[in-house]
Structure 1
């Protein structure tokens, strides 16, 4: 007899297509995958060497719940230099996590009670909504539109705020749109957060992957925001280390302490060996990051030029960051219909835009974290089959 004791919260989780997409990409090599949001580059050589050395030196034991002291200090140095975020006490203001996804869960668990509200972007990273729902909070979507480059309108944020609103998640550069929030927009959000006493959870997973004239600005660096912002970052994207499962969060010491307490009762800490490798990434691998960013920039140019020649698709907004194109479907198909059609007929794997919220309906997410020959092959297939 099949097991039937699943909890209601698990039974009601949305059935995401991402796991299915990753499985297809792994198992069927005849498919050209523009699906998973994962770098195709290997981790930097210095990182791999550091990991091997960590094993040989028996760094195989538990770490403190906040992470190893030397990693926290390296992160603090990076935050001060690159992000202009003030960190006075790394062990109280930074926590190392198993990727930024764990940081998202910990942040929400630590700040949102049953029935309370958290504002989330629509379209936005698909983890946000179910995470809030898992703890019986209420995710409130603020809508983003291609007509104005998927930028945030603070007037809408203000309108959505109630006495139950605890905070807002922002994501720049954005997954899935590639939008980089403008400085003026970030300043307006900061002012509103102070006015409404909101916590800003700033997901900056793609901070180094910026193109053209766009500039990445950490909202936590703005005056008066030190106690109002929790900044989330990861080694997965910029350093091509997704399998290392290493990220971090920095913010108010009271919140970081709460997240540390949560850590003790869940995963305790990230992989110790990954933390050792993370130090090397921060201290020795910035040239590797820039090399990969330049390659992504070439791929971005190729995929955008190619998509403009595909009937039934339109580039309304050029991505300024991350490694995704988000073309609009103009032939009447829904997001799911278009993705299924392209998979079956063109053998090209994409992600339906509605996976990222209702505002993503009518779009497809296409990752250019894949080699140029495959991107060109995919464009050729799209031209042939998409009408």
Structure 2
């Protein structure tokens, strides 16, 4: 049977991606150093792995409640109060297969065909396709390098053409791919827009623990009066280096969380039970959590200093001072005019270094490249040596 002829229009309309082709190019040569990863290169903390082993060995391998295990939701509520200044109860929480699923469930509950969602651009590459899968319209809010990629109230208002069709505003802090940490003042402006237009904010905070220097992560739901407007998404994938465990969660107003739980029944039913038990230990053992997460943040900060210094020494790249996540997002201008995809292809062929084209993150990402420092320090150093040498010959 020719399945190509019956694949749905929904799938065919999804945007293609350059990442797959460029990854295949990089894989053809084992000598290519990848600065493209969007996941930690660390192993999950041993105390979390031990908890996972205990869960499996004691036959905790059955389904969990759709919205998540009671013990985990209670641990999340305590964490939100302790670290994010968000007051919630377990009924405000849903545990999902990573925070990406939580974002999708929320959009499935909020967006009908023809309705609009404002998204940061450049922004996480999953936002726009998810909205389009629902036959909604993703409206880009341009983020400017000249403004340190801050998402402002004025920038959002400029994109609101038909308020009756607007269903949500997505924000991401610290940001992927830009590494931007939204300032409290910017968050207050965004909150004012949400209240003015009576529209929810979907706040993606997967990189919340990875901030550097004097930067501070602020959850917009912690601002006065915003608990009824905000759905906060957080994840164990980045914070605890647990991407393969597939555990994330959302916290928000009870009616939306109940609706998301209903949809969850018909998507994946529940998050993996052993992973939920490991995640509960990850949060409850605050001493080990502080030690293990702190060590990762310190190492990321060390790598960040290295790659910032080295990229700034390579003529053709302009990189500012991203304060969060584990990405740099420099603009580029070389004698040879290239798109971001062409530049990454050139890097793979001539410097044996790979990264992610800015165009993967929205139309305003063109002219930029995302470098990840979720890669060993010595490999980053070697990659910068190669890139510097190749750039001199361009």
The answer to whether the superposition gives a TM-score over 0.5 is: yes
Q: Structure 1's 16 and 288: CA in aligned 2 closer, same or farther, altered over 3 A?
A: same
User: CA offset at residue 286 of structure 1?
Assistant: 2.4
- Aligned positions, number: 384
Alignment of 1:359-374 (within 5 A): 359-374=364-379
Q: Secondary structure at the match of 2:119?
A: strand
Residue 72 of structure 1: aligned partner: 73
User: CA offset at residue 328 of structure 1?
Assistant: 1.0
User: CA offset at residue 25 of structure 1?
Assistant: 6.1
Gaps of 5+ in 2: none
Gaps of 5+ in 1: none
Q: How many angstroms apart in 1 are the aligned matches of 2:12 and 2:328?
A: 32
Residue 313 of structure 1: aligned partner: 317
- CA RMSD of superposed structures (Å): 1.3
Deviation per CA, 1:66-118, whole angstroms, max 9, x where unpaired?
Answer: 0100000000000011000011x30x200001111101110110111111100
User: CA offset at residue 282 of structure 1?
Assistant: 1.0
In the alignment, structure 1 residue 98 sits paired with structure 2 residue 97: yes
Q: How many angstroms apart in 2 are the aligned matches of 1:271 and 1:143?
A: 37
Q: How many angstroms apart in 2 are the aligned matches of 1:238 and 1:25?
A: 27
Q: Structure 1's 21 and 46: CA in aligned 2 closer, same or farther, altered over 3 A?
A: farther
User: CA offset at residue 21 of structure 1?
Assistant: 5.1
In the alignment, structure 1 residue 296 sits paired with structure 2 residue 300: yes
Q: Is the 8 A contact 1:34 1:368 kept in 2?
A: yes
User: CA offset at residue 326 of structure 1?
Assistant: 0.8
Residue 114 of structure 2: aligned partner: 115
Q: How many angstroms apart in 1 are the aligned matches of 2:2 and 2:386?
A: 43
User: CA offset at residue 29 of structure 1?
Assistant: 3.3
Deviation per CA, 1:235-263, whole angstroms, max 9, x where unpaired?
Answer: 01111001111100000000000000000
Q: How many angstroms apart in 1 are the aligned matches of 2:254 and 2:46?
A: 35
Q: TM-score, normalised by structure 2?
A: 0.95
Q: Structure 1's 110 and 71: CA in aligned 2 closer, same or farther, altered over 3 A?
A: same
Q: Secondary structure at the match of 1:265?
A: helix
Q: Is the 8 A contact 2:22 2:345 kept in 1?
A: no
Residue 358 of structure 1: aligned partner: 363
Residue 378 of structure 1: aligned partner: 383
Q: Is the 8 A contact 1:21 1:35 kept in 2?
A: no
In the alignment, structure 1 residue 348 sits paired with structure 2 residue 341: no
Q: Is the 8 A contact 1:214 1:320 kept in 2?
A: yes
Residue 341 of structure 2: aligned partner: 336
Alignment of 1:1-387 (within 5 A): 2-3=2-3, 4-20=5-21, 28-87=29-88, 89-90=89-90, 92-161=91-160, 162=162, 163-284=164-285, 285-315=289-319, 317-331=320-334, 332-386=337-391, 387=394
User: CA offset at residue 17 of structure 1?
Assistant: 2.9
Q: How many angstroms apart in 2 are the aligned matches of 1:238 and 1:314?
A: 28
Q: Is the 8 A contact 2:26 2:348 kept in 1?
A: no
User: CA offset at residue 158 of structure 1?
Assistant: 1.6
